[in-house]
Chains A and B, each alone.
Chain A
Amino acid sequence: MKSIFSLKTLYSIVYFVGSMVILLLIWSLVSAITKNEIPGPIATWSVFFEMLKDPFYDYGPNDKGIGIQLWSSIKRVMMGFGLGSLLAIPLGMLMGGSKFTMNLLNPLIQVLRPVSPLAWFPLGLLAFKASEGATIFIIAITSLWPTLINTAFGVSSIPDDHKNVGKAFGFSRWKYITKILIPFALPHIITGLRLAIGVAWMVIVAGEMLSGGVGIGFFVWDSWNGLSLEKILSAILIIGFVGLLLDKFFNGLQNYFAYENKK
Protein backbone atom coordinates (compact mmCIF):
# COMPACT_ATOMS: atom_id res chain seq x y z
CA MET A 1 0.00 0.00 0.00
CA LYS A 2 2.76 2.37 0.92
CA SER A 3 4.57 1.97 -2.41
CA ILE A 4 1.39 2.98 -4.30
CA PHE A 5 1.12 6.07 -2.16
CA SER A 6 4.71 7.14 -2.78
CA LEU A 7 4.33 6.45 -6.50
CA LYS A 8 1.31 8.73 -6.52
CA THR A 9 3.28 11.41 -4.71
CA LEU A 10 6.13 10.99 -7.18
CA TYR A 11 3.73 11.43 -10.10
CA SER A 12 2.25 14.59 -8.66
CA ILE A 13 5.74 16.00 -8.16
CA VAL A 14 6.65 15.17 -11.75
CA TYR A 15 3.49 16.86 -13.02
CA PHE A 16 4.16 19.90 -10.86
CA VAL A 17 7.71 20.23 -12.20
CA GLY A 18 6.41 19.80 -15.76
CA SER A 19 3.90 22.56 -15.18
CA MET A 20 6.60 24.89 -13.85
CA VAL A 21 8.78 24.15 -16.88
CA ILE A 22 5.92 25.23 -19.17
CA LEU A 23 5.60 28.44 -17.13
CA LEU A 24 9.31 29.17 -17.44
CA LEU A 25 9.25 28.49 -21.21
CA ILE A 26 6.33 30.86 -21.82
CA TRP A 27 7.94 33.44 -19.57
CA SER A 28 11.28 33.21 -21.43
CA LEU A 29 9.48 33.45 -24.75
CA VAL A 30 7.57 36.58 -23.70
CA SER A 31 10.79 38.04 -22.36
CA ALA A 32 12.58 37.35 -25.67
CA ILE A 33 9.73 38.82 -27.73
CA THR A 34 9.71 42.02 -25.66
CA LYS A 35 13.51 42.21 -26.03
CA ASN A 36 14.00 41.83 -22.28
CA GLU A 37 11.72 44.76 -21.48
CA ILE A 38 9.96 42.14 -19.39
CA PRO A 39 12.84 40.44 -17.58
CA GLY A 40 13.31 36.71 -18.10
CA PRO A 41 13.43 34.03 -15.39
CA ILE A 42 17.20 34.23 -14.95
CA ALA A 43 17.31 38.01 -14.53
CA THR A 44 14.39 37.79 -12.12
CA TRP A 45 16.02 34.98 -10.16
CA SER A 46 19.03 37.08 -9.12
CA VAL A 47 16.74 39.85 -7.81
CA PHE A 48 14.47 37.28 -6.19
CA PHE A 49 17.47 35.69 -4.51
CA GLU A 50 18.61 39.08 -3.19
CA MET A 51 15.12 39.62 -1.77
CA LEU A 52 15.10 36.25 -0.04
CA LYS A 53 18.59 36.70 1.45
CA ASP A 54 17.33 39.26 3.94
CA PRO A 55 13.53 39.07 3.97
CA PHE A 56 13.01 40.83 7.29
CA TYR A 57 15.12 44.01 6.98
CA ASP A 58 13.42 47.22 8.01
CA TYR A 59 14.87 50.54 6.77
CA GLY A 60 11.93 52.75 7.59
CA PRO A 61 8.34 52.96 6.38
CA ASN A 62 9.01 52.69 2.65
CA ASP A 63 11.78 50.13 2.64
CA LYS A 64 11.04 46.81 4.26
CA GLY A 65 12.01 43.21 3.43
CA ILE A 66 9.70 40.95 1.46
CA GLY A 67 9.07 38.77 4.52
CA ILE A 68 7.68 41.72 6.48
CA GLN A 69 5.52 42.76 3.52
CA LEU A 70 4.18 39.23 3.06
CA TRP A 71 3.53 38.67 6.75
CA SER A 72 1.55 41.88 7.12
CA SER A 73 -0.53 40.94 4.08
CA ILE A 74 -1.24 37.48 5.48
CA LYS A 75 -2.24 39.00 8.82
CA ARG A 76 -4.63 41.38 7.07
CA VAL A 77 -6.11 38.58 4.96
CA MET A 78 -6.64 36.41 8.03
CA MET A 79 -8.33 39.28 9.86
CA GLY A 80 -10.68 40.09 6.98
CA PHE A 81 -11.29 36.45 6.12
CA GLY A 82 -11.88 35.59 9.78
CA LEU A 83 -14.34 38.43 10.32
CA GLY A 84 -16.14 37.64 7.07
CA SER A 85 -16.40 33.96 7.95
CA LEU A 86 -17.62 34.68 11.49
CA LEU A 87 -20.44 36.60 9.90
CA ALA A 88 -21.02 34.25 6.97
CA ILE A 89 -21.25 30.90 8.78
CA PRO A 90 -24.02 31.73 11.28
CA LEU A 91 -25.89 33.76 8.66
CA GLY A 92 -25.57 30.89 6.18
CA MET A 93 -26.93 28.47 8.78
CA LEU A 94 -29.85 30.78 9.41
CA MET A 95 -30.56 30.98 5.69
CA GLY A 96 -30.18 27.26 5.12
CA GLY A 97 -32.38 26.49 8.08
CA SER A 98 -35.37 28.60 7.14
CA LYS A 99 -36.96 29.21 3.76
CA PHE A 100 -38.16 32.60 5.03
CA THR A 101 -34.67 33.98 5.74
CA MET A 102 -33.40 32.38 2.52
CA ASN A 103 -36.04 34.09 0.40
CA LEU A 104 -35.65 37.34 2.28
CA LEU A 105 -31.85 37.59 2.12
CA ASN A 106 -31.11 35.91 -1.20
CA PRO A 107 -31.83 38.99 -3.40
CA LEU A 108 -29.65 41.10 -1.10
CA ILE A 109 -26.77 38.66 -1.55
CA GLN A 110 -27.23 38.52 -5.30
CA VAL A 111 -26.99 42.32 -5.48
CA LEU A 112 -23.99 42.75 -3.16
CA ARG A 113 -21.93 39.74 -4.25
CA PRO A 114 -20.79 40.99 -7.69
CA VAL A 115 -19.60 44.36 -6.35
CA SER A 116 -15.86 44.85 -6.86
CA PRO A 117 -13.74 45.11 -3.71
CA LEU A 118 -12.39 48.44 -4.95
CA ALA A 119 -15.90 49.92 -4.97
CA TRP A 120 -16.19 49.17 -1.25
CA PHE A 121 -12.89 50.85 -0.42
CA PRO A 122 -14.10 54.46 -0.04
CA LEU A 123 -16.93 53.30 2.21
CA GLY A 124 -14.37 51.47 4.32
CA LEU A 125 -12.22 54.60 4.54
CA LEU A 126 -15.21 56.62 5.61
CA ALA A 127 -16.26 54.08 8.22
CA PHE A 128 -12.87 53.33 9.73
CA LYS A 129 -11.05 56.62 9.06
CA ALA A 130 -7.93 54.56 8.29
CA SER A 131 -6.67 52.60 5.32
CA GLU A 132 -5.83 49.58 7.52
CA GLY A 133 -9.45 49.16 8.60
CA ALA A 134 -10.66 49.81 5.09
CA THR A 135 -8.48 47.04 3.64
CA ILE A 136 -9.67 44.52 6.20
CA PHE A 137 -13.24 45.66 5.56
CA ILE A 138 -13.06 45.06 1.81
CA ILE A 139 -11.51 41.61 2.34
CA ALA A 140 -14.24 40.68 4.79
CA ILE A 141 -17.07 41.90 2.63
CA THR A 142 -15.86 40.27 -0.57
CA SER A 143 -14.73 36.97 0.92
CA LEU A 144 -17.85 36.23 2.96
CA TRP A 145 -20.11 35.36 -0.01
CA PRO A 146 -18.72 31.94 -0.96
CA THR A 147 -18.85 30.82 2.67
CA LEU A 148 -22.34 32.20 3.11
CA ILE A 149 -23.71 30.55 0.00
CA ASN A 150 -22.04 27.19 0.61
CA THR A 151 -23.07 27.10 4.27
CA ALA A 152 -26.66 27.90 3.34
CA PHE A 153 -26.60 25.21 0.68
CA GLY A 154 -25.10 22.65 3.06
CA VAL A 155 -27.63 23.31 5.78
CA SER A 156 -30.59 23.34 3.40
CA SER A 157 -29.58 19.99 1.93
CA ILE A 158 -29.58 17.99 5.18
CA PRO A 159 -31.39 14.78 4.21
CA ASP A 160 -34.76 14.00 5.82
CA ASP A 161 -33.24 10.78 7.14
CA HIS A 162 -30.90 12.75 9.38
CA LYS A 163 -33.58 15.23 10.42
CA ASN A 164 -35.91 12.35 11.29
CA VAL A 165 -33.35 10.97 13.73
CA GLY A 166 -33.46 14.28 15.56
CA LYS A 167 -37.26 14.29 15.54
CA ALA A 168 -37.73 10.65 16.51
CA PHE A 169 -35.38 10.85 19.47
CA GLY A 170 -36.44 14.31 20.56
CA PHE A 171 -33.09 16.07 20.05
CA SER A 172 -32.98 19.51 21.62
CA ARG A 173 -32.26 22.42 19.30
CA TRP A 174 -28.68 22.55 20.57
CA LYS A 175 -28.16 18.81 20.06
CA TYR A 176 -29.63 19.06 16.58
CA ILE A 177 -27.25 21.87 15.64
CA THR A 178 -24.13 20.29 17.12
CA LYS A 179 -24.76 16.63 16.29
CA ILE A 180 -26.60 16.82 12.96
CA LEU A 181 -26.54 20.25 11.34
CA ILE A 182 -22.87 21.16 11.80
CA PRO A 183 -21.39 17.70 11.07
CA PHE A 184 -23.44 17.47 7.89
CA ALA A 185 -22.78 21.03 6.73
CA LEU A 186 -19.09 21.12 7.70
CA PRO A 187 -17.71 19.81 4.39
CA HIS A 188 -19.82 22.41 2.56
CA ILE A 189 -18.68 25.15 4.95
CA ILE A 190 -15.04 24.24 4.37
CA THR A 191 -15.57 24.31 0.60
CA GLY A 192 -16.94 27.83 1.08
CA LEU A 193 -13.96 28.81 3.23
CA ARG A 194 -11.58 27.45 0.61
CA LEU A 195 -13.17 29.59 -2.10
CA ALA A 196 -13.30 32.55 0.30
CA ILE A 197 -9.61 32.45 1.18
CA GLY A 198 -8.85 32.46 -2.56
CA VAL A 199 -10.96 35.58 -3.02
CA ALA A 200 -9.42 37.21 0.06
CA TRP A 201 -5.91 36.61 -1.21
CA MET A 202 -6.79 38.17 -4.57
CA VAL A 203 -8.41 41.18 -2.96
CA ILE A 204 -5.47 41.94 -0.68
CA VAL A 205 -3.20 42.99 -3.55
CA ALA A 206 -5.75 45.42 -4.96
CA GLY A 207 -6.56 46.70 -1.49
CA GLU A 208 -2.96 47.37 -0.54
CA MET A 209 -2.27 49.14 -3.83
CA LEU A 210 -4.95 51.62 -2.79
CA SER A 211 -4.10 51.78 0.89
CA GLY A 212 -0.31 51.89 0.73
CA GLY A 213 1.79 51.20 3.82
CA VAL A 214 3.17 47.71 4.20
CA GLY A 215 2.11 44.60 2.31
CA ILE A 216 2.70 42.53 -0.77
CA GLY A 217 0.24 44.60 -2.83
CA PHE A 218 1.93 47.81 -1.82
CA PHE A 219 5.27 46.17 -2.60
CA VAL A 220 4.12 45.49 -6.18
CA TRP A 221 3.02 49.10 -6.62
CA ASP A 222 6.17 50.44 -4.99
CA SER A 223 8.30 48.29 -7.28
CA TRP A 224 6.43 49.68 -10.28
CA ASN A 225 7.24 53.19 -9.10
CA GLY A 226 10.83 52.12 -8.68
CA LEU A 227 10.66 50.51 -12.15
CA SER A 228 11.89 47.17 -10.90
CA LEU A 229 9.99 44.66 -13.01
CA GLU A 230 12.12 41.87 -11.54
CA LYS A 231 10.70 42.67 -8.12
CA ILE A 232 7.16 42.75 -9.51
CA LEU A 233 7.61 39.35 -11.16
CA SER A 234 9.11 37.95 -7.97
CA ALA A 235 6.16 39.28 -6.00
CA ILE A 236 3.73 37.71 -8.50
CA LEU A 237 5.41 34.35 -8.00
CA ILE A 238 5.29 34.73 -4.22
CA ILE A 239 1.62 35.71 -4.33
CA GLY A 240 0.91 32.68 -6.48
CA PHE A 241 2.71 30.24 -4.23
CA VAL A 242 1.20 31.58 -1.02
CA GLY A 243 -2.22 31.29 -2.68
CA LEU A 244 -1.42 27.71 -3.58
CA LEU A 245 -0.40 26.91 0.00
CA LEU A 246 -3.55 28.47 1.44
CA ASP A 247 -5.65 26.43 -0.99
CA LYS A 248 -3.77 23.25 -0.12
CA PHE A 249 -4.37 23.88 3.55
CA PHE A 250 -8.12 24.14 3.09
CA ASN A 251 -8.07 21.19 0.73
CA GLY A 252 -6.48 19.19 3.55
CA LEU A 253 -9.18 20.35 5.95
CA GLN A 254 -11.81 19.34 3.40
CA ASN A 255 -10.44 15.83 3.19
CA TYR A 256 -10.14 15.59 6.93
CA PHE A 257 -13.76 16.49 7.56
CA ALA A 258 -15.29 14.55 4.67
CA TYR A 259 -16.97 11.86 6.77
CA GLU A 260 -17.74 9.72 3.71
CA ASN A 261 -14.04 9.14 3.16
CA LYS A 262 -13.24 8.29 6.74
CA LYS A 263 -12.33 4.70 7.01
Chain B
Amino acid sequence: MITELENEILIEKKAETSNCISVKNVTISFKTNGKGTFTAVKDIDLDIKKGEIVSIIGHSGCGKSTLMNSISGMVKPTSGEVTVNGNKVTGPGPDRGIVFQNYSLLPWMTVYRNVYEAVDSVLKDKSAAEKKEIVEYNLKMVNLLQHKDKLPSQLSGGMKQRTAIARAFAINPSVLLLDEPFGALDALTKGSMHVELLKIWNLNKRQQTIVMVTHDIEEAIFLSDRVVVMNDGPEATIREIVNINIARPRNKKDIVHLPEYMKVHDKLLSLLVKNLSIDDVIFE
Protein backbone atom coordinates (compact mmCIF):
# COMPACT_ATOMS: atom_id res chain seq x y z
CA MET B 1 0.00 0.00 0.00
CA ILE B 2 1.42 3.30 -1.02
CA THR B 3 0.03 6.26 0.85
CA GLU B 4 0.13 9.77 -0.42
CA LEU B 5 3.11 10.52 1.79
CA GLU B 6 4.97 7.49 0.48
CA ASN B 7 4.29 8.59 -3.07
CA GLU B 8 5.52 12.06 -2.39
CA ILE B 9 8.65 10.67 -0.85
CA LEU B 10 9.28 8.36 -3.77
CA ILE B 11 9.05 11.25 -6.19
CA GLU B 12 11.32 13.38 -4.08
CA LYS B 13 13.83 10.59 -3.78
CA LYS B 14 13.95 10.18 -7.54
CA ALA B 15 14.53 13.87 -7.96
CA GLU B 16 17.37 13.83 -5.44
CA THR B 17 19.71 11.40 -7.07
CA SER B 18 22.75 13.42 -6.07
CA ASN B 19 24.83 12.15 -3.19
CA CYS B 20 24.35 13.68 0.21
CA ILE B 21 27.50 12.25 1.73
CA SER B 22 30.50 11.34 -0.33
CA VAL B 23 33.57 9.71 1.17
CA LYS B 24 36.38 9.73 -1.38
CA ASN B 25 39.50 7.64 -1.01
CA VAL B 26 39.74 8.32 2.71
CA THR B 27 42.62 7.00 4.81
CA ILE B 28 42.85 7.84 8.49
CA SER B 29 46.01 7.30 10.52
CA PHE B 30 46.77 8.19 14.10
CA LYS B 31 50.13 8.88 15.68
CA THR B 32 50.79 6.38 18.42
CA ASN B 33 53.06 7.06 21.37
CA GLY B 34 56.50 6.89 19.84
CA LYS B 35 55.65 3.80 17.84
CA GLY B 36 54.90 5.54 14.58
CA THR B 37 51.45 5.55 13.06
CA PHE B 38 48.37 3.39 13.28
CA THR B 39 46.17 3.32 10.20
CA ALA B 40 42.56 2.75 11.21
CA VAL B 41 40.85 2.80 7.82
CA LYS B 42 42.33 2.80 4.34
CA ASP B 43 41.09 3.88 0.91
CA ILE B 44 37.43 4.12 1.82
CA ASP B 45 34.97 5.12 -0.89
CA LEU B 46 31.34 5.49 0.05
CA ASP B 47 28.46 7.47 -1.41
CA ILE B 48 25.24 7.94 0.51
CA LYS B 49 22.12 9.44 -1.04
CA LYS B 50 19.81 11.94 0.57
CA GLY B 51 17.21 10.30 2.78
CA GLU B 52 19.06 7.02 2.92
CA ILE B 53 19.67 5.07 6.12
CA VAL B 54 23.03 3.37 6.01
CA SER B 55 24.56 1.18 8.70
CA ILE B 56 28.25 0.58 9.09
CA ILE B 57 28.84 -2.80 10.69
CA GLY B 58 32.00 -4.58 11.73
CA HIS B 59 33.91 -6.05 14.62
CA SER B 60 35.17 -3.95 17.51
CA GLY B 61 38.17 -1.87 16.53
CA CYS B 62 37.54 -2.14 12.79
CA GLY B 63 37.50 1.62 12.42
CA LYS B 64 33.78 2.04 11.89
CA SER B 65 33.58 4.84 14.45
CA THR B 66 36.65 6.45 12.90
CA LEU B 67 34.98 6.41 9.50
CA MET B 68 31.88 7.93 11.05
CA ASN B 69 33.94 10.60 12.81
CA SER B 70 35.42 11.62 9.48
CA ILE B 71 31.87 12.40 8.32
CA SER B 72 31.03 14.25 11.52
CA GLY B 73 34.28 16.20 11.26
CA MET B 74 35.59 15.10 14.65
CA VAL B 75 38.49 13.36 12.88
CA LYS B 76 40.35 14.75 9.88
CA PRO B 77 41.22 12.24 7.14
CA THR B 78 44.94 11.77 6.63
CA SER B 79 44.27 11.61 2.91
CA GLY B 80 41.17 11.79 0.75
CA GLU B 81 38.15 13.92 1.51
CA VAL B 82 34.60 13.81 2.77
CA THR B 83 31.88 16.04 1.36
CA VAL B 84 28.44 16.58 2.82
CA ASN B 85 25.85 18.27 0.58
CA GLY B 86 28.69 19.28 -1.72
CA ASN B 87 30.74 20.98 0.98
CA LYS B 88 34.06 19.60 2.09
CA VAL B 89 34.02 18.55 5.75
CA THR B 90 36.64 20.45 7.74
CA GLY B 91 35.11 20.14 11.19
CA PRO B 92 31.85 19.47 13.00
CA GLY B 93 28.93 21.53 11.77
CA PRO B 94 25.25 22.07 12.50
CA ASP B 95 24.22 20.35 9.24
CA ARG B 96 25.21 17.08 10.90
CA GLY B 97 23.55 16.00 14.14
CA ILE B 98 25.52 13.54 16.21
CA VAL B 99 24.30 10.99 18.72
CA PHE B 100 27.28 9.75 20.67
CA GLN B 101 27.96 6.23 21.83
CA ASN B 102 27.77 7.18 25.50
CA TYR B 103 24.98 9.77 25.07
CA SER B 104 27.28 12.66 26.13
CA LEU B 105 24.65 14.60 28.02
CA LEU B 106 25.94 17.36 30.25
CA PRO B 107 25.32 16.05 33.78
CA TRP B 108 24.71 19.46 35.37
CA MET B 109 21.82 20.31 33.05
CA THR B 110 18.26 19.07 32.95
CA VAL B 111 16.95 17.16 29.94
CA TYR B 112 15.35 20.38 28.72
CA ARG B 113 18.56 22.44 29.10
CA ASN B 114 20.64 19.78 27.36
CA VAL B 115 18.48 20.06 24.26
CA TYR B 116 17.94 23.81 24.61
CA GLU B 117 21.65 24.71 24.68
CA ALA B 118 22.21 22.82 21.41
CA VAL B 119 19.22 24.53 19.79
CA ASP B 120 20.29 27.91 21.16
CA SER B 121 23.76 27.41 19.76
CA VAL B 122 22.73 26.27 16.26
CA LEU B 123 19.50 28.18 15.62
CA LYS B 124 20.74 31.57 16.79
CA ASP B 125 18.25 33.60 14.77
CA LYS B 126 15.16 32.10 16.34
CA SER B 127 13.38 33.87 19.17
CA ALA B 128 13.40 32.42 22.67
CA ALA B 129 9.79 31.32 22.29
CA GLU B 130 10.52 29.56 19.02
CA LYS B 131 13.50 27.78 20.53
CA LYS B 132 11.39 26.68 23.47
CA GLU B 133 8.79 25.35 21.07
CA ILE B 134 11.40 23.40 19.08
CA VAL B 135 12.85 21.85 22.24
CA GLU B 136 9.45 20.86 23.55
CA TYR B 137 8.36 19.46 20.19
CA ASN B 138 11.43 17.25 20.02
CA LEU B 139 11.14 16.12 23.61
CA LYS B 140 7.52 15.24 22.96
CA MET B 141 8.59 13.21 19.95
CA VAL B 142 10.77 10.99 22.14
CA ASN B 143 8.16 10.92 24.93
CA LEU B 144 10.32 12.79 27.42
CA LEU B 145 8.36 15.99 27.87
CA GLN B 146 7.12 14.96 31.30
CA HIS B 147 10.73 14.25 32.34
CA LYS B 148 12.16 17.49 31.01
CA ASP B 149 13.22 18.82 34.39
CA LYS B 150 15.20 15.75 35.41
CA LEU B 151 18.96 15.55 35.45
CA PRO B 152 20.70 12.88 33.36
CA SER B 153 21.66 11.02 36.55
CA GLN B 154 17.97 10.45 37.21
CA LEU B 155 17.31 8.89 33.82
CA SER B 156 17.48 5.30 32.61
CA GLY B 157 19.80 4.42 29.73
CA GLY B 158 16.94 4.47 27.24
CA MET B 159 15.79 7.89 28.43
CA LYS B 160 19.32 9.28 28.17
CA GLN B 161 19.56 7.96 24.63
CA ARG B 162 16.20 9.48 23.74
CA THR B 163 17.41 12.83 25.10
CA ALA B 164 20.52 12.56 22.93
CA ILE B 165 18.37 11.71 19.90
CA ALA B 166 16.01 14.60 20.62
CA ARG B 167 19.02 16.91 20.87
CA ALA B 168 20.40 15.72 17.54
CA PHE B 169 17.03 16.04 15.77
CA ALA B 170 16.22 19.39 17.38
CA ILE B 171 18.87 21.26 15.41
CA ASN B 172 17.16 19.93 12.27
CA PRO B 173 20.29 18.60 10.57
CA SER B 174 20.22 17.17 7.06
CA VAL B 175 22.45 14.34 8.23
CA LEU B 176 22.17 12.32 11.42
CA LEU B 177 25.17 10.40 12.61
CA LEU B 178 24.55 7.72 15.20
CA ASP B 179 27.56 6.04 16.79
CA GLU B 180 26.42 2.72 18.26
CA PRO B 181 23.39 4.55 19.59
CA PHE B 182 21.63 1.58 21.11
CA GLY B 183 24.69 -0.42 22.16
CA ALA B 184 24.23 0.07 25.88
CA LEU B 185 20.49 -0.62 25.95
CA ASP B 186 18.74 -3.87 26.83
CA ALA B 187 17.13 -5.81 23.98
CA LEU B 188 13.56 -4.71 24.73
CA THR B 189 14.36 -1.00 25.06
CA LYS B 190 16.48 -1.25 21.94
CA GLY B 191 13.58 -2.67 19.94
CA SER B 192 11.26 0.17 20.83
CA MET B 193 13.99 2.75 20.19
CA HIS B 194 14.39 1.42 16.63
CA VAL B 195 10.73 2.00 15.96
CA GLU B 196 10.87 5.45 17.56
CA LEU B 197 13.84 6.43 15.41
CA LEU B 198 12.01 5.41 12.22
CA LYS B 199 8.91 7.25 13.41
CA ILE B 200 10.82 10.50 13.80
CA TRP B 201 12.48 9.96 10.44
CA ASN B 202 9.01 9.44 8.91
CA LEU B 203 7.64 12.56 10.61
CA ASN B 204 10.43 14.49 8.94
CA LYS B 205 9.29 13.05 5.58
CA ARG B 206 12.34 10.80 5.32
CA GLN B 207 14.41 13.77 4.20
CA GLN B 208 17.17 13.18 6.68
CA THR B 209 20.14 11.00 5.81
CA ILE B 210 21.05 8.69 8.65
CA VAL B 211 24.39 6.97 9.06
CA MET B 212 24.64 4.55 11.96
CA VAL B 213 27.50 2.54 13.37
CA THR B 214 26.44 -0.75 14.89
CA HIS B 215 27.50 -4.31 15.58
CA ASP B 216 23.97 -5.67 15.68
CA ILE B 217 22.90 -7.45 12.48
CA GLU B 218 19.14 -7.42 13.18
CA GLU B 219 19.25 -3.73 14.04
CA ALA B 220 21.13 -2.96 10.82
CA ILE B 221 18.63 -4.88 8.67
CA PHE B 222 15.54 -3.43 10.32
CA LEU B 223 16.70 0.16 10.00
CA SER B 224 18.86 0.42 6.91
CA ASP B 225 18.59 0.71 3.17
CA ARG B 226 22.16 -0.46 2.88
CA VAL B 227 24.61 -2.11 5.24
CA VAL B 228 28.31 -1.41 4.87
CA VAL B 229 30.36 -4.36 6.13
CA MET B 230 33.89 -3.48 7.20
CA ASN B 231 36.94 -5.72 7.24
CA ASP B 232 38.86 -6.04 10.47
CA GLY B 233 41.45 -3.38 11.16
CA PRO B 234 44.10 -2.11 11.15
CA GLU B 235 43.93 -0.61 7.68
CA ALA B 236 40.28 -1.60 7.51
CA THR B 237 38.52 -1.38 4.17
CA ILE B 238 34.94 -1.89 3.05
CA ARG B 239 34.33 -5.59 2.58
CA GLU B 240 30.95 -5.42 0.97
CA ILE B 241 27.88 -3.23 0.78
CA VAL B 242 24.67 -5.22 1.22
CA ASN B 243 21.36 -3.79 -0.03
CA ILE B 244 18.31 -4.37 2.11
CA ASN B 245 15.42 -4.60 -0.34
CA ILE B 246 12.63 -4.69 2.20
CA ALA B 247 9.77 -2.26 1.67
CA ARG B 248 9.02 0.38 4.30
CA PRO B 249 7.27 0.78 6.62
CA ARG B 250 8.78 -2.35 8.08
CA ASN B 251 7.19 -4.37 10.82
CA LYS B 252 9.65 -5.84 13.26
CA LYS B 253 7.64 -9.01 13.73
CA ASP B 254 6.70 -9.60 10.09
CA ILE B 255 9.91 -8.88 8.25
CA VAL B 256 11.83 -11.74 9.89
CA HIS B 257 9.66 -14.19 7.92
CA LEU B 258 10.43 -12.60 4.57
CA PRO B 259 12.77 -14.61 2.31
CA GLU B 260 14.69 -11.40 1.61
CA TYR B 261 15.26 -10.86 5.34
CA MET B 262 16.57 -14.38 5.81
CA LYS B 263 18.80 -14.11 2.77
CA VAL B 264 20.33 -10.85 3.93
CA HIS B 265 20.64 -12.02 7.51
CA ASP B 266 22.49 -15.15 6.37
CA LYS B 267 24.76 -13.15 4.20
CA LEU B 268 25.68 -10.64 6.91
CA LEU B 269 26.18 -13.41 9.41
CA SER B 270 28.57 -15.29 7.16
CA LEU B 271 30.41 -12.08 6.34
CA LEU B 272 30.89 -11.22 9.99
CA VAL B 273 30.99 -14.45 11.95
CA LYS B 274 33.50 -17.21 11.28
CA ASN B 275 32.39 -19.80 13.78
CA LEU B 276 28.71 -20.56 13.34
CA SER B 277 28.58 -23.87 15.25
CA ILE B 278 30.81 -25.90 17.53
CA ASP B 279 32.04 -27.84 14.49
CA ASP B 280 33.58 -24.65 13.15
CA VAL B 281 35.74 -24.11 16.20
CA ILE B 282 39.15 -25.56 15.52
CA PHE B 283 41.49 -26.26 18.42
CA GLU B 284 45.10 -26.36 17.53
* Interface residues, chain A, with chain B CB atoms under 8 Å away: 161-162, 164-165, 167-172, 175, 179-180, 183-184, 259-260, 262-263
Contacts of A180 in B (CB 8 A): 106
Least CB distance from B119 to A in Å reads 9
Do residues B74 and A170 form an inter-chain contact, with CB atoms below 8 A? no
Do residues B107 and A260 form an inter-chain contact, with CB atoms below 8 A? yes
Q: CA A168 – CA B117 in complex, angstroms?
A: 12
Q: Knowing A167-B92, A170-B121 are in contact, say whether A262-B151 is a contact too (CB < 8 A).
A: yes
Q: Knowing A259-B108, A263-B153 are in contact, say whether A169-B102 is a contact too (CB < 8 A).
A: no
Do residues B106 and A179 form an inter-chain contact, with CB atoms below 8 A? yes
Do residues B92 and A170 form an inter-chain contact, with CB atoms below 8 A? yes
Q: CA A171 – CA B100 in complex, angstroms?
A: 16
Contacts of A169 in B (CB 8 A): 94, 117-118, 121-122, 167, 171
B192 interface contact, C-beta 8 A: no
Q: Can you list 13 residue pairs at the A/B interface with Cβ under 8 Å?
A: A161-B104, A162-B104, A162-B106, A168-B72, A168-B97, A168-B100, A169-B94, A169-B171, A170-B122, A259-B107, A260-B153, A262-B153, A263-B154
Contacts of B106 in A (CB 8 A): 162, 165, 179-180, 183
Do residues B104 and A165 form an inter-chain contact, with CB atoms below 8 A? yes
Q: Knowing A169-B117, A170-B92, A262-B153 are in contact, say whether A179-B104 is a contact too (CB < 8 A).
A: no
- The 8 nearest A-B residue pairs measured at CB: A169-B118, A259-B108, A183-B108, A168-B98, A161-B104, A167-B92, A168-B92, A169-B121
Least CB distance from A167 to B in Å reads 5
B109 interface contact, C-beta 8 A: yes
| Interface residue ranges of B97-128 to A (CB < 8 Å) | 97-98, 100, 102, 104-109, 117-118, 120-122
Least CB distance from A158 to B in Å reads 11
Contacts of A183 in B (CB 8 A): 106, 108-109
Q: CA A250 – CA B26 in complex, angstroms?
A: 53
Contacts of B102 in A (CB 8 A): 161
Least CB distance from A153 to B in Å reads 18
Majority SS at the chain A contact face: helix
B86 interface contact, C-beta 8 A: no
B183 interface contact, C-beta 8 A: no
Contacts of B154 in A (CB 8 A): 263
B93 interface contact, C-beta 8 A: yes
Q: CA A167 – CA B69 in complex, angstroms?
A: 12
Q: CA A172 – CA B121 in complex, angstroms?
A: 7
Contacts of A168 in B (CB 8 A): 72, 74, 92, 97-98, 100
Contacts of B167 in A (CB 8 A): 169
Contacts of A175 in B (CB 8 A): 117, 120-121
Q: CA A166 – CA B154 in complex, angstroms?
A: 22
- CB-nearest residue of chain A to B91: A167
Do residues B109 and A179 form an inter-chain contact, with CB atoms below 8 A? yes
- CB-nearest residue of chain A to B104: A161
Least CB distance from A180 to B in Å reads 7
Q: CA A167 – CA B93 in complex, angstroms?
A: 8
Contacts of A165 in B (CB 8 A): 100, 104-106, 118
Contacts of B100 in A (CB 8 A): 161, 164-165, 168
Q: CA A167 – CA B97 in complex, angstroms?
A: 11
Q: CA A169 – CA B120 in complex, angstroms?
A: 9
Q: CA A184 – CA B106 in complex, angstroms?
A: 9
Contacts of B92 in A (CB 8 A): 167-168, 170
Contacts of A260 in B (CB 8 A): 107, 153
Do residues B153 and A170 form an inter-chain contact, with CB atoms below 8 A? no
- CB-nearest residue of chain B to A182: B108
Contacts of A167 in B (CB 8 A): 74, 91-92
Query: Could you list 7 further interchain pairs (A-B, Cβ under 8 angstroms) beyond the known A161-B104, A183-B108?
Result: A169-B117, A169-B121, A170-B92, A170-B122, A175-B120, A180-B106, A262-B108
Q: Knowing A161-B102, A167-B74, A169-B122 are in contact, say whether A179-B93 is a contact too (CB < 8 A).
A: no
Contacts of A184 in B (CB 8 A): 108
| Interface residue ranges of B225-271 to A (CB < 8 Å) | none
Contacts of A262 in B (CB 8 A): 108, 151, 153
Least CB distance from B279 to A in Å reads 43
Q: CA A168 – CA B151 in complex, angstroms?
A: 21
Q: CA A206 – CA B167 in complex, angstroms?
A: 55
Contacts of A170 in B (CB 8 A): 92-94, 121-122
Q: CA A171 – CA B93 in complex, angstroms?
A: 10
B72, B92, B102: most-surrounded residue (chain A CB, <10 A): B92
Contacts of A162 in B (CB 8 A): 104, 106
Least CB distance from B212 to A in Å reads 16
- CB-nearest residue of chain A to B94: A170
B100, B117, B120, B122: most-surrounded residue (chain A CB, <10 A): B117
Q: CA A260 – CA B109 in complex, angstroms?
A: 11
